[in-house]
Amino acid sequence: MNEPLTLFDKIWNRHVVMTPADGESLLYVDRNLVHEGSFLAFELLAKAQSRVRKPGGSIAFVDHFAPTRRVGGERAPAIYDEDGRRVIVQLEANAKAHGLECFGLGDTLQGIMHVVGPELGLVLPGLVITGNDSHTCTNGAFGAFAFGIGQSEVKQVFETQTVWRRKPKSMRVQIDGRLPMRVSSKDVALALISRLGAGAGSRYVIEYMGSCVSAMSMEARMSLCNMSIEAGARSGMVGPDATTFGYLARCPRVPKDGEWQEALEAWKTLATDDGAKFDREVNLDVSQLAPLVTWGTSLDQTGSIEDRVPRSSDIDDADKRAVLERSLAYMDLAPGTALRGIVIDRAFIGSCTNSRIEDLRAVAEVLRGRRVRVPTLVSPGSMQVKRRAESEGLDRIFASAGAQWGDASCSMCVGSNGDIVPPRERCASSSPRNFEGRQGIGARTHVMSPVMVAAAAVEGAIADVREL
Q: What is the pLDDT of residue 316?
A: 87
pLDDT score of 246 more than 60: yes
Question: Residue 4 has what pLDDT?
Answer: 97
User: ∠ at Cα 195 (381, 172), nearest 5°?
Assistant: 75
In contact, 154 and 38? CB cutoff 8 Å: yes
Residue 188 has pLDDT above 60, yes or no: yes
Q: Mean pLDDT over residues 429-447, rounded?
A: 97
Local structure of 142: helix, strand or coil: helix
Spatial neighbors of 457 by CB under 8 A, at least 6 apart, are 344, 347, 367, 372, 373, 374, 376, 403, 428
pLDDT digits 0-9 by tens, 319-332: 999 999 999 999 99
Cβ within 8 Å of residue 461, ≥6 positions away? 340, 341, 342, 343, 344
Length of the chain: 468
Ordered by start, the domain boundaries in the chain are 9-166, 169-285, 292-467
d(CA 134, CA 227): 10
How many angstroms separate the CA atoms of 424 and 436, rounded? 11
Q: Helices 450-459 & 357-367, crossing angle to 10 degrees? A: 30
User: Is the distance from CB of 210 to CB of 175 less than 8 angstroms?
Assistant: yes
CB within 8 Å of 271: residues ≥ 6 apart: 7, 239, 240
Shared fold status for 9-166 and 169-285: no
Question: Is-contact 26 162, C-beta < 8 A?
Answer: yes
Pick the CATH number of 9-166 from 3.30.499.10, 3.40.50.300, 3.20.20.70, 3.30.70.3280: 3.30.499.10
CA–chain centroid gap for 50, Å, is 32
pLDDT value at 92 more than 70: yes
- Report angle CA 385, 386, 388 to the nearest 5 degrees: 65
Average pLDDT of the residues of the chain: 97
Find the Cα–Cα–Cα–Cα dihedral 431, 435, 436, 440, rounded to 10°: -30
Average pLDDT (136-160) is: 98
The rounded distance, in Å, linking the Cα atoms of 404 and 395 is 9
The residues, ordered by sequence, that sit 6+ positions from 47 with a Cβ below 8 Å of its Cβ are none
What pLDDT is attached to residue 1?
57
CATH of 292-467, one of 3.40.50.800, 3.40.50.300, 3.30.499.10, 3.40.50.720: 3.30.499.10
Compute the radius of gyration of the chain from its Cα atoms.
Answer: 22
What are the C-alpha distances in Å from 419 to residues 150, 273, 295, 346? 25, 46, 22, 12
CATH of 169-285, one of 2.60.40.10, 3.40.50.2300, 3.90.1720.10, 3.40.1060.10: 3.40.1060.10
**pLDDT confidence tier of residue 201, bands split at 50, 70 and 90:** very high
Residue 394 has pLDDT above 90, yes or no: yes
Q: Binning pLDDT at 50, 70 and 90, where does residue 157 land? A: very high
